[in-house]
Amino acid sequence: MQSFRTELENPIVARDIIDLEKKIRLFREGKVPDEKFRSLRLARGIYGQRQPGVQMVRIKLPYGKMTLQQWRRISDISDEYAIRNLHLTTRQDIQIHYVSLDRTPEMWSKLEQDGVTIREACGNTVRNITASDKAGIDPNEPFDVVPYADAAFRYFLRNPVCQDMGRKFKIAFSSSEADSAWSFMHDVGVIPKVREVNGVQVRGFKVMVGGGLGAQPALAYVAFEFLEEDRLIPYIENVLRVFDRYGERTSRNKARMKFLIQKIGIEEFERLVKEEYKAVKVKQVKVDTAVWDAPVLPAPGAVLPAYTIKDPKKYEAWKITNTFQQKQEGYYGAYVKVTLGDVSTNAARQMIDALANVIADDVRVTANQGLLFKYILPEHLPYVYSVLETVGFAEPGFDSIADITACPGTDTCNLGISSSTGIAEVLENIITEEFPDLIYNKDIKIKISGCMNSCGQHGIASIGFHGSSMKSGGKVLPALQVLLGGGILGDGLGRVADKVIKVPSKRGPDVLRSLLHDYEINGQENELFNDYYDRQGEKYFYALLKPLADLTNLQDLDFVDWGKAEDYATAIGVGECAGVVIDLVATLLYEAEEKLDLSAEAIANGAYADGIYHAYTSYIQGAKALLLGEGVSCNTQHGIMNDFEKHFVEAGKLATGGFKSQVLQINEHEPTESFARQYFDQAKVFYNEAQEYRQAAAVNA
């Protein structure tokens, strides 16, 4: 691969990109093992696809926001490096597919020219921070949460405490008690609150902690009913520090924070979080909302080109289902329903060019894979619709039962078991053709994932499906696990859907028909779907759908997945690049040295807390290296400290005394310059001892 020069103004970003290029080159030369390279690559938003030799690149859009120029830039990048398509995700990101690994540094450099990053969009990091798409214009919000979400994004990006955790970490900001960002299913989720204290209105947040979906969903705990606004970010940092130190690292299936809380209990977890307060770099983070940049609004008196509306009846439905009055008087928001979250780059540019004069320069990707245009004058709504009609995105029914959320599934994902996109398209067609009035139903949500991991959020759907497989007569066929009864209750409360039955994938349409017809016939007047589900009970729905699980009458087509031509076979894609297996111990020691270099640099720049944390990580990586060299398996960071005490300190193999107490000084001191320098010096001494031990072991081997 050829080197390139980046002309970016931000030296930190430029160094990041150059470092990625360097690590790719070392990986190609077999000097970085596959596992370590994968971790580094994922933390830069680069994810191996199901298809060999190409990557999915996830573009990180905090709270889903992009300016029109950023949207154009992303579209141009997709044309040059990918396949002229933008995939909108449930975490308000944009993904592009089929990207060459060797071209990713150059691609990242071009994205950053318009302030767009891929840093920490994947991997064991703080993932994209999401927020209600209505935030800032929501008529029901106590205050705009976007400045706080933005501050959290900037605070944790490249923050040493969250660069190499056991698993990913997700944060969400809801705009009101409606909880449209689903605080209850996040590692940390918050809801804005206002309290009166001594006659003064004080801003704060209800804070939820320890939620998550995946194969084993868990509802979050209430950490605070009300936490003052300036204490929120320090609290999240403390949570991250505990998760980093005590979280599982060997078994990925048990490595999310919800499992740590289940293991040690919420009381012990809260105690550990409080222990960290002394060490955080700042005890309060005040977000100055007064200087928050308002979006650039369309200029008044815009001259519109001639236009026509081809389907006036559909336009009226679209106004009802896809638009709403903002809290700002005289303006409307307009949602765009995007089937499967896929927008061609040509359609994106058409929308940008045609709508620039009538929408705010602030487009939001929504958590159900759509778009939101803001600050539209009521007289401009017909024109906006006509533009969407021209480019094929004027369907009514946004966020209704007809607006199905689906992950990419077996199209591109390594983990996909059966098709999620194919069945989603079929189900949407059934609703629009057989149940057209349901485009107005925003109570029932259908969500589909290609596997149990819940990227399509099936675990909180009224009607959910996840990809699976079944066997019949020695052959394997694609299947769908049917889940019912999930959803939002509001103010931090939610429902996890029940697994009801598994059926062949080709019978998914009949599952939906059976459920909707039964609800139509037996549901009580104005009874919501989940209330109906609760009244009838899980066994009732199992009996209702059981005939569709019968495998005695299968047809040949049942063995072919949706959107496929050949017989189904369970397979995991091989999209990860191969690497030469080399000395992992040497690699860990190399990383420990890198962390020391970062520590020295941070201390020299006055970032004492960051320097201390880098030194802490160097301690851990060095100890892990020596333990692995002795055949001792390593799990949590806390476990590494205990094991090192046992196998090295108590065994007299290393002169270092009180290793664990030495390392844990990190949360016993304020992050002052004097302590930072002392801690760094101690970590450097330990690193040198570790290197000497390793070299002596190699000589004696």
Q: Which one, of 263, 226, 227, lies nearest residue 242 by Cα?
A: 263
| Residue percentage of the chain with pLDDT more than 70 | 96
Residue 574, pLDDT above cutoff 70: no
Answer yes or no: do 435 and 481 share one domain.
yes
Say if 398 falls within a structural domain. Answer: no
Residue 2, pLDDT above cutoff 60: no
Looking at residue 272, the DSSP 8-state letter turns out to be H
Say if 509 falls within a structural domain. Answer: yes
Answer yes or no: do 540 and 487 share one domain.
yes
**pLDDT tens-digit series, residues 118-149:** 999 999 999 999 999 999 999 999 999 999 99
Residue 192, pLDDT above cutoff 70: yes
Q: Which one, of 371, 373, 347, lies nearest residue 362 by Cα?
A: 373
* Mean pLDDT taken over the chain: 92
Q: Please report the DSSP string for 286-309 in residue order.
A: ---GGGPPPPPPPPTTPPPPP---
Say if 96 falls within a structural domain. Answer: yes
Answer yes or no: do 137 and 286 share one domain.
yes
Q: Mean per-residue pLDDT for 472-493?
A: 94
**64-73, 541-550, 642-651: least confidently modelled range:** 642-651
Greater confidence (517 vs 562) lies with: 517
**pLDDT tens-digit series, residues 232-266:** 999 999 999 999 999 998 888 899 999 999 999 99
Q: Which of 348, 364, 391 is the last residue of a domain?
A: 391
* pLDDT in the model for residue 69: 97
At 498, which CATH number?
3.30.413.10
**49-53, 116-120, 207-211, 233-237: least confidently modelled range:** 49-53
Residue 411, pLDDT above cutoff 80: no
**pLDDT tens-digit series, residues 360-377:** 999 999 999 999 999 999
- CA–CA distance from 186 to each of 220, 260, 271, 413, 466 (Å)? 7, 14, 20, 22, 20
Answer yes or no: do 589 and 613 share one domain.
yes
**pLDDT tens-digit series, residues 218-232:** 999 999 999 999 999
Greater confidence (38 vs 383) lies with: 383
* pLDDT in the model for residue 71: 98
Answer yes or no: do 46 and 104 share one domain.
yes
Instruction: Kindly indicate the confidence band of residue 7, based on its pLDDT and cuts at 50, 70 and 90.
Output: low
Say if 117 falls within a structural domain. Answer: no
Answer yes or no: do 93 and 195 share one domain.
no
Answer yes or no: do 534 and 481 share one domain.
yes
Question: Buried (b) or exposed (e) across 616-642, using 16+ Cβ within 10 A?
Answer: bbbbbbbbbbbbbbeeeebbbbbbbbe
- CA–CA distance from 341 to each of 186, 373, 405 (Å)? 22, 16, 8
Answer yes or no: do 527 and 378 share one domain.
no
Answer yes or no: do 137 and 281 share one domain.
yes
**pLDDT tens-digit series, residues 301-329:** 888 999 999 999 999 999 999 999 999 99
By DSSP bridging, strand 171-173 and strand 188-197 are parallel
Looking at residue 311, the DSSP 8-state letter turns out to be -
Answer yes or no: do 86 and 190 share one domain.
no
Domain count, the chain: 5
Q: Which of 84, 112, 140 is the last residue of a domain?
A: 112
Neighbour count for residue 462 (Cβ, 10 Å): 24
Q: Mean per-residue pLDDT for 183-208?
A: 96
Q: Mean per-residue pLDDT for 165-176?
A: 96
Residue 389, pLDDT above cutoff 50: yes
E strand residue ranges, 243-384: 323-325, 332-336, 342-344, 363-365, 371-376
Q: Which of 78, 112, 146 is the last residue of a domain?
A: 112
**Structural domain harbouring 549:** 405-559
Say if 570 falls within a structural domain. Answer: no
Q: Mean per-residue pLDDT for 269-285?
A: 94
Q: Mean per-residue pLDDT for 417-446?
A: 93
At 366, which CATH number?
3.90.480.10
* pLDDT in the model for residue 460: 94
* pLDDT in the model for residue 413: 80
Question: Buried (b) or exposed (e) across 541-575, using 16+ Cβ within 10 A?
Answer: bbebbeebbeeeebeeebbbbbeeeeebeeeebeb
Answer yes or no: do 264 and 374 share one domain.
no
Residue 10, pLDDT above cutoff 90: no
Answer yes or no: do 247 and 337 share one domain.
no
3-class secondary structure, 86 = strand
Residue 656, pLDDT above cutoff 70: no
